[in-house]
Structure 1
Amino acid sequence: MKKVIAVFAAFLMVFCIAGCDSGKKPQESAVTTTADPNSIEVPDFSGLTRVQIEMKYPKLNIKFDEKYDDSAEEDEFISQTPSAGTKINKDDEILVEISLGGKLVEVDDYTGRNIDDAKTLIEKQGLVCDIVYDDSEAVARNCIISTMPSARTMVEKGSTVICYVSLGSAVQEIRVPDMLGMSIEDASKIAEENSIGLTITYDNTSILEPGTVIKQGVDPDTVVEPNAKVEVVIAGENASAIRRTTITVNVNSSLEGEFEIKYYIDGTLVPEKTEIKEISLTRKIEWELSGTDVHTYSIMVTSRATGQTGKLYEIEVDFTTDPPARNILDSNVNIFRELMNA
């Protein structure tokens, strides 16, 4: 009987010891020591967060330095000093840099701005611009109604800013713009901005500036449906056939006096080019020409002092050749002196 009691007592003792051991708390991560009991090897903290480092190495003298870093998420390890594996005194300080995330930038107020301009500015801040279109009675077409996040919000670089852009009124009133005199490029751009399509034809008999609108099929300010087609007539032939050249006439600047200078194409005055020049301040007269056919260009001068008029220069230019063929018909660089002495 005594043997049975002794065996039972021994069994209880083993069971209690095992139960007590199983309730022990997990130990902290071991730090590699060296032959010197006061010396340790610095652990490798890479891949750990600040909380994980504090939990695994509570006895180390770790100083944390938090900084913004675009390459690391918030609370992630960036670097350590000394580096992993370095032998140090166990009480020495270890500096660990922890990321605060990407540097924050402030979203500007883009309300009312044209979306093209705003997109450029947003991307310059290191942010991504996402565009959502919506009808708006109050905000002009292609301008920003609002943003998300809103203005003055601090966000990380690389964040997306959603721009809500106006399509204009849900019921749009489209008015035909005045495109007369515009280049074909400018006319096409303004038509697109006003939701209008263009049907383009060319008039190679026109003496007006090639490549410009000389007629439009719908009067300016006429109300039309969105995407309506408007016919425009362009002076000259297709732009790909237009060639250019420049004529230059040197002037004797030792003379003095004011002269009115007029320019003619095939005998027709180009009134917008008429100008007054003080001859003593003028070294040369230049005229940029363009066309698709053969034209004659003349420059006439009138002395403001005597009222006398004469021809300074006349040239025939054939734009059907490349480069344009030039044939000088008349040139009188002494015309200024002759008119002053008339």
Structure 2
Amino acid sequence: MSTIRERERARRAAQLLGLLVVVLALVALAALGYLGYRVVASFAAGGAAEIEVPSVTGMKIEEAEKTLNELNLGLRVTESAYSQDVPAGRIIKQRPSAGFKVREGRVVRVIQSLGTPSLRVPDVVGKGFTQAQRAIAKAGLAVGFVRKVYTREFPRGQVVTQDPEPGKVFTNPVKVDLTVADSSSSDIVVMPDLRGKQLYAAEHKLFRANLTLAGVDYVSGLGKPGAVIEQSPLPGEQVPLTGEVRLRVQVGSEVGSALARSFQVRFRLPVTLPAGKLAIEIQDALGKQVIYEDQVKPGELVEQVVSVEGKAKVRVLFNGRLMREDTI
């Protein structure tokens, strides 16, 4: 009898134990579920709602920061750059872009404008060529055409003139042309062929060849106006450096027969001469008059429109010395 009772007790104990295990398992599952819920809720609460990034491009930094802070977003200037279109202190570019959705607390990175670049031409006259190259590169510019001039008045390799002039400011990189002294070159040059070229092109070619335009004779005809039709010395002749050249230039027949005519005179002071006073005078049917007078520097180009009546002469004088005479 006692054996039967003991078996019953053992069976009930086993049932209770099984029930307890099931209850504990359910409690464990419930706890895990609750923990998972809390983790998900925690992530959801931490991430907050997504926010659409506003456009701050073109804004001042202070304005942009205020706009972003109102949406619980941050701002960081990661770079500064020059811009032709965006004023200094304003934003050129942003990342993330406007319209992109992010969570609260996200930092928007921006590039701030330094404004329009200010590139100032350095003064390299009197410097050695290598030193001049470094100064030009440091200013954000580049060396352009380098012309050598035969002269014993300046040390070999020294910069005699530059174009553009020192102190001029540009918003884009430009090339600086240099004239460099060279005392070891030959003092003879072969006369270039200028026939058929426009006068301004012929003048430029003579300047590069270290030759001097001493005068221009304007003649009327049916050829191409402004073109060189004759030259002296002739092409191919050997001419001493800084030697004088005269040109005959074609003008239209209607210009040649007109009573009043206008011409443009261009004169560049040789780099081997010091600074001084340059004057341009005309002598025509109305008499003689000075139409230009000013101080010029070596290598400086002077351009002047002259109007004359009837036959005329246009003279360029430097410190009272006749440098060029044109016949019209």
For normalisation by structure 1, the TM-score amounts to: 0.30
Task: Decide which structure has greater helix share.
Answer: 2
Task: Between the two structures, name the one with larger relative contact order (CA 8 Å, sep ≥ 6).
Answer: 2
For normalisation by structure 2, the TM-score amounts to: 0.31
